[in-house]
Amino acid sequence: MVSTPSRSTQKAWAKAIGKPAEEFDLTSLSIQTGAIPTGLLGTLYRNGPGRLERGGKKVGHWFDGDGAVLAVHFRATGASAVYRYVQTTGYLTEAAQDRFLYANYGMADPQGVWNFWWRVLTKQDSLKNTANTSVLALPDRLLALWEGGQPHALHLETLKTIGIETLGVLQPTQPYSAHPIRDPLTGEIYSIGVDSQANLHLYKSDRTGQIKKQAVIKLDGLPFIHSFALAGRYLIFFLPPLAMNKLAVLFGIKSYSHSLEWQAGEGTKILVVDRETFEIVSRGETDPWFQWHFGNACVEADGLVRLDLVRFTDFDRTNEYLREVATGVTHTVANGNLWEVRLDPKTAKIISMQTVIDRSCEFPIVAPESIGQPWRYTYLALERKSVVDGSEFFGAIGCFDYQTGTLIEADLGENMYTVEPLYVPDALNPERGWIVTIVFDGNLERSEVWIFDADRLNDGPVCRLALPTVIPFSYHGTWHCSVKK
């Protein structure tokens, strides 16, 4: 466990995660400024760790917090929101005893190695599925996703937890990743999962989420694959050079976070897979780097794959920074930059790489209709220009225009912090789009929904809505349109 630093040393962003999140029932949202666009019809869902302490003890890493989902429903009559913890088995068990009982990404079993092994031998959950990383909206339910286990199904309107979701085929040992990709042309959903035996599971689902095809690729070691990219007919994977002390994890001696070691002398491996057959097209290797997230990818006219991602120099610093976030004070500087990469999918050879944004940024996204297709704009959370020591959370939203090579940004202001921005197509006008995000106001200690015109980002928000309680920083979200086309 980690101790809590004094509030006097904390930045304003730490107030967003200083206390466990408070749930609230469906509540009408008041407009602070502007007006809700008439074409914004649907629901914004966001997922992230809502609780970073229990029984006076802090989690070991920001990734260990219990998942809490926010739903903001936009209707013709106005906006309303509901916020709920995902009622996982681990959450309910720990809530009943008001103490940590499970190992997690950054925590060994708090009850000791022998308890960990007792759970393993009696076939109980040795790790807590926190359901805290992302969400996938299906026609009849919402999935709360986590890296190392099965999804949890929630009610689309009320966020009531329905239970574990198998998507028709998932077994308890088959993880389903937190970064599924939906093809805008076919509606097919692609996802992955890496199990403890170094098997990369590949899944293809129909529009309803039902898995229709799956395959397994055996990988070396125990690779860390957080996300991947869809480019036309290809699935693209970059495997950073990480080694895991597998025995320490399997025997419950160390957490996953403490068992991962950066291999600076090795390269990042490249894996190109055919999305239809799930067969390997090519393998390659390039310079070492680490990435959490891709923005987008596509196949260009010359047959090369173009993609962008946020690239970090190594894993150790970004992982340590994210561990420190949970304490409210960060000391480690770990700046990721947006890079553009071109590679030959037939050989997995990188043809060119270049930095396109050299300021700290993360959570790159594109318009949903551009996923896997040629695109012009990448949106992301961005560090404010005035930040020089890496101690602040993201305080700006950026849009990089690949056609003009320019960065457009919206600076949110002093002590104002954003999470991943989402591009939302206008339901009434396909030529328009909106950037919707949750902003924490560190001056007034409150959370708001901010809406920007995607084409006029630097004009500031067109609407700000007040939320009933502080919403701790979330990781990922999605938009579910309520207008049938």
pLDDT in tens, 19-38: 999 999 999 999 999 999 99
Q: Are 68 and 86 in contact (CB under 8 A)?
A: yes
Task: Give CA angle at 135 (50, 472), nearest 5°.
Answer: 20
Q: Can you tell me the distance from the alpha carbon of 231 to that of 251, in angstroms, rounded to the nearest whole number?
A: 39
Residue type at 427? A
pLDDT for residue 6: 40
Series of mean pLDDT values for 10-residue runs along the chain (485 residues): 47 95 98 98 98 95 97 97 97 96 89 70 79 98 96 98 97 93 98 91 98 95 89 97 78 82 94 98 97 98 98 96 94 95 98 96 98 98 86 94 97 97 96 97 97 97 98 98 71
The DSSP line for 438-477 is: EEEETTTTEEEEEEEETT-GGG--SEEEE-SS--PPP-EE
pLDDT for residue 1: 38
26 token code pair: 């469906």
Considering the chain, what percentage of its residues have pLDDT values greater than 90? 84
pLDDT for residue 400: 98
- Find the helix or strand (DSSP H, E) in which 91 lies: helix 89-97
CA 81 to chain centre: 21
40 token code pair: 């914004």
Q: Which of 348, 350, 347, 329 is nearest to 339 (CA)?
A: 350
Q: Are 16 and 442 in contact (CB under 8 A)?
A: yes
pLDDT tens, position by position, 106-144: 998 887 776 766 766 767 777 899 999 999 999 999 999
Domains plus CATH for the chain? 7-481 (2.130.10.10)
pLDDT for residue 196: 81
Q: Which of 304, 267, 323, 308 is nearest to 64 (CA)?
A: 323
- Find the helix or strand (DSSP H, E) in which 121 lies: helix 113-121
Backbone torsions φ then ψ of 138, nearest 5 degrees: -105, 170
Q: Are 435 and 368 in contact (CB under 8 A)?
A: no
Question: How does strand 31-34 pair with strand 268-274?
Answer: unpaired
pLDDT for residue 478: 98
pLDDT for residue 444: 97
Q: Which of 295, 273, 297, 296 is nearest to 284 (CA)?
A: 273
Q: Which of 408, 449, 453 is nearest to 426 (CA)?
A: 453
Q: How many Cβ atoms are within 10 Å of 162's Cβ, its own excluded?
A: 13
pLDDT tens, position by position, 193-207: 998 888 999 999 999
pLDDT for residue 251: 65
Which residue is listed with tokens 């689902």? 205
